[in-house]
Amino acid sequence: MNKAQILNQTILFVKDTLHGAEGGHDWFHIERVWKNAKHIAENEEVDLFIVELGALLHDIADAKFYDGDESIGPKKAGEFLKSIDVNEDIIHHIINIINNISYKNSLESKPENFQSKELEVIQDADRLDAIGAIGIARAFNYGGFKNRELYNPEIKPSINLSKESYKKSKAPTINHFYEKLLLLKDKMNTKTGRELATKRHQFMEQYLTQFYNEWEGEK
């Protein structure tokens, strides 16, 4: 099976696996990350095949939908890639990308943390989808999915959350802007990622200003 065939098989697998998934973590999220990853990769020295494969499989089983179990995604991706006879080195790289891409894993520092340029590109693409207009829509969609308040002035955002505290948070959705979304611009790995993130960050700031104005009752 050549690279194009592998990618086509992966697309079919991801679409089937994520059929009926929560709207912020469905096939369309994967597709946007995949497209952004290819765009960012144009200006980086990376293996485009790894970038595409990693982007397509990065959220195949997001731990937040599996009681926090972070082993399911890498296992599911690895089993699929083995089933279509993908090279073992490539499978190992993809599994490492899935294990290290999430924001929550950046909240803990481990000396053995995996690094690669392909991971950096996919991570930027994934983080871009968490901010801007799409990011706002995804945040409130997930907040509704978890039956969280939109905003509660009495519940202040928690700054410098640990990984465990972040995973257990049940705070209103607006708090999520300060606990993650507004922090992502400065965590981008690539020049293209930073440029795109700046525009989306500014949109979120404008949105929050408008949100608070309407919350207080515009005069």
Express each pLDDT in 91-113 by its tens digit. 999 999 999 998 866 666 654 67
Share of the chain above pLDDT 70, in %: 93
Secondary structure (3-state) at 171: coil
Q: What is the pLDDT of residue 105?
A: 66
Assess contact for 38 and 48: CB atoms under 8 A. yes
Q: Does the pLDDT of residue 19 top 70, yes or no?
A: yes
| pLDDT given at position 103 | 80
Centroid of chain to Cα 68: 15
Q: What is the mean pLDDT of the chain?
A: 91
Dihedral of the alpha carbons of 177, 182, 187, 192, in degrees to the nearest 10: 120
Residues near 205 by beta carbon (within 8 Å), at least 6 away in sequence? 182
Q: 159: phi > 0 → left, psi -120 to 50 → alpha, else beta; which?
A: beta
Q: Class of 3-216 per CATH?
A: mainly alpha
At residue 217, the pLDDT reads 87
pLDDT digits 0-9 by tens, 125-164:
999 999 999 999 999 999 999 999 999 999 999 887 776 7
Stated length of the chain: 219
Six-digit token string for 130: 């968490």
Chain segment 52-85, per-residue pLDDT in tens: 999 999 999 877 777 777 888 999 999 999 999 9
**What is the structure's pLDDT at 113?**
73
Encoded tokens for 2: 């050549």
Structural domain spans, the chain: 3-216
pLDDT at 71: 83
pLDDT at 110: 58
At 208, list the tokens.
């929050």
Q: Alpha-carbon distance 12 to 33, whole Å? A: 16
Farthest-apart Cα atoms in the chain, separation: 64
**In one letter, which amino acid is 188?**
M
pLDDT at 67: 73
Q: By percentage, how much of the chain surpasses pLDDT 90? A: 78
Minimum mean pLDDT range among 112-126, 149-163, 204-218: 149-163
C-alpha span between 219 and 214 (Å, rounded): 9
Dihedral sign from CA coordinates of 144, 148, 153, 157? negative
Band (pLDDT 50/70/90 cuts) for residue 4 is very high
The pLDDT assigned to 112 comes to: 61
